Chain A
């Protein structure tokens, strides 16, 4: 059995990342519309632009971060490379390349999903219909995940898909926490007020973690415990701790099962991250500065992705890799 082409490994990785991004974005738009209202009942749509560090690109095109502008920019705008439309288009392009490897069902669903989003007009995603459209997107992404789970052959490609999904999840999760934490951190007088609670509630829902959190913390909701949950919980599938542990496990298995010799740098980085997570509490993290901590996490994730590129995807191979297998 031939080893996986480096190019296909990379496409698998990006297929997962793009789908994960699309789903995440749909959840954020939906939650923002439904749950994140301030005292006067209006939402802050600008936070979504901040979240994706899109200020420059967004304001080059739009005057103000109104609901309609932000929704259009992130849902349908083909010129925004991180819109849901662009993510699905990129996913379909990845899948098109990967068609020799993936199941017909997986391809067909993505093909139809993309065909559907292509037909949407701005009128279809006005605020009254936003929740419905976002739900349909989430459902589409989750169908994808389910079909993948049920039909994708468990070879190297599957592992690279998992890596892409987990890296993206860790990236999106920490970014969201970073932005929201600062946006939502209320004046001390408001801590514990209904408004404050509903904001944290929104953050948890964006990460699909509201009900899981409730099981861990049946009473109350504090910035500290929400942040702690999203970073440290070792059972919530989108927490940083779970993502990092899973990435580590998958890289190890990939190396064992397929005799891949590269990826040492990744394992070192992951060791460092796991050690840091194991030795710190949320209070220590907040004490040292949440933003600084999350920034460090982002830098580590980028380093891991770069190492994947060099180790497995054939980006500027090291002399060790150039040896004939």
Chain B
């Protein structure tokens, strides 16, 4: 083969374009491989640089809190797409819908009759003692039982090409803006690569989201006013907030733009106060309402919970959804799927050891160098110890943390994540990827075809988080 893949070697990993190691290249990517063969590295490099400059000029950026000089940084964009076959996608889509359905049933149960706790499916103290469990939500009615209206389910693929759920994101998952912008970028930068290949479109995400926000609004309203609530311009995901507000055609508000009177929510406009019916919030629970949560927070809206409890406003995602995406609760998800749906999980979990359980803790301590140890309360890849890559000192720190507070940790075997050809420093090399499909739930659940593929740009690295030097790729679902 000539062109940019001529020197590509996927190693022992499953490759998202070539398929399983040691087998002939995957059939469904033949047309794309042929086109990549017609591109040379210099041309690819040039177009890649153009694309990144465009991203920067367009301000498609995120903020890195630890680097105060880099308020705006782009998520590095890799120009070689990740490709999912129609069959793979059908499987993933069904699995994500099953998972999200379970998450919502679980949340309705937890804030309602608590059957699963009483039946011993999940340890009650794991749920009720969880910092993400919000007592203020007990007994609150939520339209269609849709608590987690926007879900991002992180999946990975092992060396056999099998998909597994790595993590559920049921609070305010980020990244969907990159899915849409990456596609725009791809269509502009590589018309020759994309023409006449049937790729499922992603640009109906905004309308679908808007539709769900209307579906969950208080029922007496004919034409509900939807807003997007952002913490403001200095939030790391501010670009995404802008993007979503624009795609939905709704105002992007901050807490200071909203006010609650008589348990109803209003926004401050040039003509005075105007009623708000649905809030897509991109603010954590803690900051939403100083009357109920952190009293020192000025980002939220005093009285918002009163309005929610009175049924005068819908909040997406609803408050307290974090209890379902907790890394400890995650371990019980396969059992919860069987419990609520009487079905086998379509997507398996990655094997997970819950260190609060003595046996799991001993196993974890004995196999630290083979396991990934994760704190259950952190997100964004912080605090993770990747055993096989860690130094002796790092393992000792990890051991001490585990012994000090075992219930704060889970551990998992390291998965040989699948790879995708990636342009790195003028050469196309395999880099590990994961995938975050996005599901929207109103009356029913819809999954955006594809999702965010994050790629670990450092050779051999398994960490794909944007805050840890990851990039992203366009994700094509073949139609």
Decide whether A and B are members of one complex: yes
Using a CB–CB distance below 8 Å, which chain A residues touch chain B?
A: 2-9, 93, 96-97, 99-100, 104, 107-108, 111-112, 115, 156, 160, 258-261, 312-314, 317, 321-325
Q: How far is the CA of A322 from the CA of B268 in the complex (A)?
A: 9
Question: B254 within 8 Å of A by Cβ?
Answer: yes
B270 near A3 with CB under 8 A, answer yes
Question: Which chain B residues border A323 with CB–CB below 8 Å?
Answer: 272-273
B272 near A2 with CB under 8 A, answer no
Contact of A5 among B57, B246, B253, B275 (CB under 8 A): B253
Question: Which chain B residues border A104 with CB–CB below 8 Å?
Answer: 58
Task: Given A93-B233, A100-B242, A100-B245, answer yes or no on A6-B59 (Cβ-Cβ < 8 Å).
Answer: no
Q: Which residue of A lies closest to B258 (CB)?
A: A5
Instruction: Pick the 7 closest A-B CB pairs, nearest first.
Output: A3-B269, A99-B242, A100-B245, A100-B252, A325-B272, A312-B270, A6-B268
A3 near B233 with CB under 8 A, answer no
Nearest Cβ in chain B — how far from A75, in angstroms? 22
Nearest Cβ in chain A — how far from B237, in angstroms? 13
A-B pairs with beta carbons under 8 Å apart, 15 shown: A2-B225, A3-B271, A3-B274, A4-B269, A5-B269, A9-B270, A96-B233, A97-B233, A100-B245, A100-B252, A107-B59, A313-B270, A322-B273, A324-B261, A324-B272
Question: Which chain B residues border A4 with CB–CB below 8 Å?
Answer: 269-270
Residues 253 to 299 of chain B near chain A (Cβ within 8 Å): 253-254, 256-257, 261, 266-275
Q: How far is the CA of A314 from the CA of B253 in the complex (A)?
A: 14
Of listed B225, B251, B266, B269, residue having the most chain A CB within 10 A: B269
Of listed B246, B253, B267, B273, residue having the most chain A CB within 10 A: B273
Task: Given A93-B233, A100-B251, answer yes or no on A322-B272 (Cβ-Cβ < 8 Å).
Answer: yes
Contact of B269 among A6, A96, A97, A111 (CB under 8 A): A6
B268 near A5 with CB under 8 A, answer yes
Q: How far is the CA of A160 from the CA of B271 in the complex (A)?
A: 13
Question: Which chain A residues border B233 with CB–CB below 8 Å?
Answer: 93, 96-97
Bin chain B's interface residue count: 20 to 34
A325 near B58 with CB under 8 A, answer no
B257 near A5 with CB under 8 A, answer yes
20 additional A-B residue pairs with CB within 8 Å, beyond A107-B59, A108-B57? A2-B250, A2-B251, A2-B269, A3-B269, A3-B271, A5-B253, A5-B267, A5-B270, A96-B59, A100-B245, A104-B58, A108-B58, A111-B58, A156-B270, A260-B270, A314-B268, A324-B261, A324-B266, A324-B275, A325-B269
Question: Which chain A residues border B57 with CB–CB below 8 Å?
Answer: 108, 111-112, 115
B252 near A325 with CB under 8 A, answer no
Of listed B257, B267, B268, residue having the most chain A CB within 10 A: B268
Question: Which chain B residues border A2 with CB–CB below 8 Å?
Answer: 225, 250-251, 267, 269, 274
Q: Which residue of B lies closest to A313 (CB)?
A: B270
Question: Which chain A residues border B273 with CB–CB below 8 Å?
Answer: 322-325
Q: How far is the CA of A111 from the CA of B55 in the complex (A)?
A: 11
Question: Which chain B residues border A8 with CB–CB below 8 Å?
Answer: 251
A258 near B59 with CB under 8 A, answer no
Task: Given A93-B233, A100-B245, A100-B251, answer yes or no on A7-B268 (Cβ-Cβ < 8 Å).
Answer: yes
Task: Given A7-B254, A7-B256, answer yes or no on A325-B59 (Cβ-Cβ < 8 Å).
Answer: no
Q: How far is the CA of A161 from the CA of B256 in the complex (A)?
A: 22
Q: Which residue of B lies closest to A4 (CB)?
A: B270
Nearest Cβ in chain A — how far from B26, in angstroms? 37
Q: How far is the CA of A96 from the CA of B271 in the complex (A)?
A: 23
Nearest Cβ in chain B — how far from A251, in angstroms? 12
Q: Which residue of A lies closest to B61 (CB)?
A: A111
Contact of A6 among B250, B257, B275 (CB under 8 A): B257
Question: Which chain A residues border B225 with CB–CB below 8 Å?
Answer: 2
Question: Which chain B residues border A160 with CB–CB below 8 Å?
Answer: 270
Question: Which chain A residues border B246 with CB–CB below 8 Å?
Answer: 99-100
Q: How far is the CA of A261 from the CA of B273 in the complex (A)?
A: 13
Q: Which residue of A lies closest to B246 (CB)?
A: A100
Question: Which chain A residues border B257 with CB–CB below 8 Å?
Answer: 5-7
Q: How far is the CA of A321 from the CA of B272 in the complex (A)?
A: 5
Q: How far is the CA of A323 from the CA of B268 in the complex (A)?
A: 11
Question: Which chain A residues border B271 with CB–CB below 8 Å?
Answer: 3, 258-261, 325
Question: Which chain B residues border A97 with CB–CB below 8 Å?
Answer: 233
Question: Which chain B residues border A93 with CB–CB below 8 Å?
Answer: 233
Nearest Cβ in chain A — how far from B360, in angstroms? 47
Question: Which chain B residues border A96 with CB–CB below 8 Å?
Answer: 59, 233, 238
Q: How far is the CA of A267 from the CA of B272 in the complex (A)?
A: 19
Q: How far is the CA of A323 from the CA of B275 in the complex (A)?
A: 12
Question: Which chain A residues border B252 with CB–CB below 8 Å?
Answer: 100
Nearest Cβ in chain B — how far from A50, in angstroms? 35
Task: Given A2-B225, A100-B251, A107-B59, answer yes or no on A325-B270 (Cβ-Cβ < 8 Å).
Answer: no
Q: Which residue of A lies closest to B225 (CB)?
A: A2
Question: Which chain A residues border B269 with CB–CB below 8 Å?
Answer: 2-6, 325
Q: How far is the CA of A107 from the CA of B256 in the complex (A)?
A: 24
Nearest Cβ in chain B — how far from A293, in angstroms? 32
Q: Which residue of B lies closest to A260 (CB)?
A: B271
Question: Which chain A residues border B268 with CB–CB below 8 Å?
Answer: 5-7, 314
Q: How far is the CA of A324 from the CA of B274 in the complex (A)?
A: 7
Nearest Cβ in chain A — how far from B343, in angstroms? 41
Residues 76 to 125 of chain B near chain A (Cβ within 8 Å): none
Q: How far is the CA of A314 from the CA of B269 in the complex (A)?
A: 8
Q: How far is the CA of A108 from the CA of B56 in the complex (A)?
A: 9
Question: Which chain B residues border A111 with CB–CB below 8 Å?
Answer: 57-59
Q: How far is the CA of A138 from the CA of B275 in the complex (A)?
A: 43
Of listed B225, B257, B272, residue having the most chain A CB within 10 A: B272
Nearest Cβ in chain B — how far from A256, in angstroms? 13
Q: Which residue of B lies closest to A314 (CB)?
A: B268
Q: Which residue of A lies closest to B266 (CB)?
A: A324
Question: Which chain B residues border A314 with CB–CB below 8 Å?
Answer: 268
Q: Which residue of A lies closest to B241 (CB)?
A: A100
B251 near A5 with CB under 8 A, answer yes
Question: Which chain B residues border A107 with CB–CB below 8 Å?
Answer: 58-59
User: C-beta contact mask, B436-459 vs A, less than 8 Å → 1, else 0?
Assistant: 000000000000000000000000
Q: How far is the CA of A203 from the CA of B268 in the complex (A)?
A: 43
Q: How far is the CA of A97 from the CA of B225 in the complex (A)?
A: 21
Question: Which chain B residues border A115 with CB–CB below 8 Å?
Answer: 57
Nearest Cβ in chain A — how far from B190, in angstroms? 20
Q: How far is the CA of A260 from the CA of B269 in the complex (A)?
A: 10
Nearest Cβ in chain B — how far from A183, in angstroms? 41
Of listed A156, A258, A314, residue having the most chain B CB within 10 A: A314
Question: Which chain A residues border B270 with CB–CB below 8 Å?
Answer: 3-6, 9, 156, 160, 258, 260, 312-313
Residues 401 to 450 of chain B near chain A (Cβ within 8 Å): none
Q: Which residue of A lies closest to B59 (CB)?
A: A111
